[in-house]
Copies of this chain bind each other. A is one copy, B any other.
């Protein structure tokens, strides 16, 4: 198909109605009504997933490629306490991504967008040497929760899981993705879910929040730095996940290392003086700086080792 044919196919797969959507796929830009935005804030993010960096074609389906890219972007919106509204996607397609592959990617985007309630209302197609998906999402909320704002004495709370997706990636890389003991881990990596409901639940009460894309230690470290506090994380709470422990055992990996440094789970870490529906307590905020891991052996400083795109 030529460019127009591909855009028509994408409009067919992706096109759907959304409150406030006045012009969707096929014009120079999407047009959104602001009639329902009184008293709301807009929360706006962009994320990009690149073949060979964020996924390998032999480890995921085309549908997974579209799903994962959409959910990764939505996780940023969830981490601010906002509800996803609409999505745009810019795809760079090498010549060996054929029409069927593109349709598969779009179907994954559509399924994720349906799950999020944030349809893809426009985008861009370009040729290029490496497959990539840039996804931008608009969300809305009354109050946005930033990384700064954590206060000494707040609890540290986690929604979702940490470490399981990294276990799933290791299982796939070792060609052990079909083992029943690793099925939950593989699913966590292949089909992550942005925690929108949990994000909305914490929006009214959390003092600070971040999503875990590059590893808990790394992302919680960003929150600690922005808030100018120290976070104490409880080892026992972090590995209180049977699927994580089973996967770690099957892979001969350390469950706590996976939990602290594995990325791509898209969990939410928030600080709050009160418990929040859907979150479990994993530590507390202290005056100071940096992260501390607390175990039966006592406390030790925790250095981030999560994913850094530029090797830091």
State the A residues within 8 Å of B (CB): 1-6, 22-23, 26-34, 37-50, 52-54, 76-77, 79-80, 82, 86, 88-90, 92-93, 121-130, 132, 134, 136, 138-139, 144, 146-147, 209-211, 226, 308-312
Q: A54–B126 contact, CB under 8 A?
A: yes
Closest to A304 in B: B4
Q: Which residues of B have CB within 8 Å of A90?
A: 46-48, 134, 136
Residue of B nearest to A48 (CB): B90
Whole-angstrom CA separation of A55 from B37 in the bound complex = 39
Number of copies of chain A assembled together: 2
Task: With both chains docked as a complex, state the minimum distance between the C-beta of A50 and any C-beta of chain B, in angstroms.
Answer: 4
Given A48-B134, A88-B136, CB of A309 within 8 Å of CB of B126: yes
- Complex CA gap A99/B182 in Å reads 40
Top 10 A-B pairs, shortest CB-CB distance: A2-B312, A134-B134, A29-B45, A50-B128, A34-B37, A32-B42, A48-B90, A28-B76, A136-B136, A31-B144
Known contacts A31-B144, A48-B92; decide if A310 and B210 are in contact (CB<8 Å): no
From residue A265, how far is it (CB to closest CB) to chain B in Å?
15
Contact B2 A53 (CB under 8 A): no
Residue pair A80, B31 in contact (C-beta under 8 Å): yes
* Residue of B32, B46, B125 touching A134 (CB-CB under 8 A): B46
Q: Is the CB of B27 within 8 A of A124?
A: no
Q: Given A53-B126, A128-B53, A312-B3, does the pair A79, B44 have CB atoms closer than 8 Å?
A: no
Q: Is B2 within 8 A of A88, CB to CB?
A: no
Which residues from B are CB-within-8-Å of A121?
A: 44
Q: What residue of chain B has the Cβ atom nearest to residue A127's Cβ?
A: B309
Pair B122/A45 contact, Cβ less than 8 Å: yes
Give Cα A2–Cα B214 distance, bound, in whole angstroms. Answer: 14
The listed residue with most B CB atoms (<10 A of its CB), out of A1, A3, A139, is: A3
Question: Are A28 and B211 neighbours in the complex by a CB distance under 8 Å?
Answer: yes
Say whether A28 contacts B45, CB under 8 Å: yes
> Considering residues A22, A28, A32, A44, which has the most beta carbons from chain B within 10 angstroms of its beta carbon?
A28
Given A34-B34, A312-B3, A126–B48 Cβ distance below 8 Å?
Answer: yes
